[in-house]
Chains A and B, each alone.
Chain A
Amino acid sequence: MDFVFMIPNTEEELKTQLSEPGSFLMTGGTDLLVKVRIGKIKPKRVVSTIRIPTLHFLKDKIDEIVIGATITYSELMDFKPLIKNFPLLYDAIYTVGSPQIRNRGTLVGNVVNASPAGDGLLALYLLNAKIEISDGSVVPVEEFVTGPGQTALPSGEYVRAIHIPKYDWSVHYFEKVGQRNSMTISIASVGWLIRCKNRIIDEFRIAYGSVAPTVLRLRDVEEFAKGKHIDEDFTHSISKMVEERVHPIDDVRGSAKYRKILCANLVYRMIEEGTKC
């Protein structure tokens, strides 16, 4: 491969090396190196963040957790506050690749890749995560991702960390539908968070992956669900709304028509989920 590979030791060095045009950021490389290998990307320089100690941290604060840029999926899954406070995110990243991939890949990489099929990304949309950029700004993940593979990351900057606010939910759900069980990229994925009592919804969030240019939060569906009783009629209405709102495309993994029906049908998992409150 014909490019320069740099491994800075500090964030200052990283910033200097990133300022050169044609530089690509890399942490685990589980995605970038595949793109380089198939010729989709031809970098002049690859700058790795892996040896920068100030980007390798996990913080459990009173109201949020903070995940540093070089924390791998495996390290994150071993972090006790994650499964305690964010079981939805745990479930989502458990479906990422294989142990080999999770030992190298990072959640920050998933965000910066900005794939509409990003499993971790879908959970971050639902959890109202915020992205901390090296210029000091902190932006909601939904504003950070601007399109498939596109972000609002200014040139020469990098993502330092992800902030996820803590909040109590009664029900969490994540499901990824792929062509097989292992090592799969989703045909469609869904996640929801429900705060409810006696099956009456107090707060509701729902998002879909792989069915639009970015992960899709369905805000009007969320608004509609407030105060409703989780029953068959409710899921029929939600299912219909979902079918009208997702706008998938035909691709190698599935047709647009199949994806639409799939998204509408996934809603019916909620009947069982709803009994938990």
Chain B
Amino acid sequence: MKVEFKVNDRKHSIEIEPGELLVETLRRLGYKSVKHACDTASCGACSVQLDGNPVLSCRTFTAAVDGHEIKTVEAFSKEGELSAVQKALVEEGAVQCGFCIPALVVTAEALLNENPNPTEEEIKTYLNGNLCRCTGYVSQNHAIMKAAELRRNSASVPAGNQGELS
């Protein structure tokens, strides 16, 4: 069957198997930042944004996203410039092996769009589906707090491009 959808603002029109999962399609299209890991809706490493909301691409049929918009981690850096979330993760030492990070960024960006001023508790709750086996989460929570502050303080951020700091 044929489907059409956008990934990071780029239109894709492709032929898929009816039972094909979004994670498989995205990786086939070259979006290898989307990880195929636990495959049982447990780890969150395959998270992508579907129309702005984080979902698990390993439990979403590609056929079901026909006509919709997907965002992967690549959507949040602009011309090599990292987003506030990405910068903060690097600065806080919140990235070790890095496997969970693309999905963590995708989820954290959605959190900060929904709630620009989250408490540490709200961050923990929102990210409870993104497992990380390296960091123990403390550095990641600090990074997201920091990114939230950076985003709030950056008055020159144009609408719809909040991830970018000028």
Contacts and interface: CB of A to CB of B under 8 A. Distances in A.
A5 B61 contact: yes
B166 interface: no
Residue among B20, B40, B56, B126 facing the most chain A CB atoms (10 A cut-off): B56
Interface stretch (B42-50, B91-99, B145-153, B157-165): B42-50
A50 to B, nearest CB: 6
Given A34-B40, A38-B40, A100-B107, A182 B19 contact: no
B113 interface: no
Interface residues of B, number: 31
Given A29-B60, A100-B54, A4 B18 contact: yes
Interface string A86-117: 00000000000111110110000000000000
A1 B128 contact: no
A103 B50 contact: yes
Interface in B13-44: 17-21, 39-42, 44
A183 B129 CA distance: 6
A104 B42 contact: no
Contacts of A37: 39-40
A5 B41 contact: no
Contacts of A182: 128-129
Contact of B54 (A28, A30, A38, A103): A103
Given A99-B107, A181-B128, A183-B129, A7 B63 contact: yes
A32 to B, nearest CB: 9
A48 interface: yes
Contacts of B82: none
A74 interface: yes
Given A100-B55, A103-B50, A3 B19 contact: yes
Given A29-B61, A74-B53, A181-B128, A101 B18 contact: no
Contacts, number: 78
A261 interface: no
Contact of A103 (B1, B53, B61, B64): B53
A2 interface: yes
Residue among B1, B50, B53, B131 facing the most chain A CB atoms (10 A cut-off): B53
Question: Binding site of A, secondary structure by majority: helix, strand, loop or mixed?
Answer: loop
Interface residues of A, number: 27
A46 interface: yes
A249 B63 CA distance: 39
A277 interface: no
A100 B63 contact: no
Contacts of A104: 55-56, 59-60
A101 B56 CA distance: 7
B59 A30 contact: yes
B110 interface: yes
26 contacts: A1-B21, A3-B19, A4-B18, A5-B61, A5-B63, A7-B63, A7-B64, A7-B66, A29-B59, A29-B60, A33-B21, A33-B41, A33-B61, A37-B40, A46-B19, A48-B63, A99-B53, A99-B107, A99-B110, A100-B47, A100-B129, A101-B41, A101-B56, A103-B55, A104-B60, A183-B131
Interface of A: 1-5, 7, 28-30, 33-34, 37-38, 46, 48, 50, 74, 97-101, 103-104, 181-183
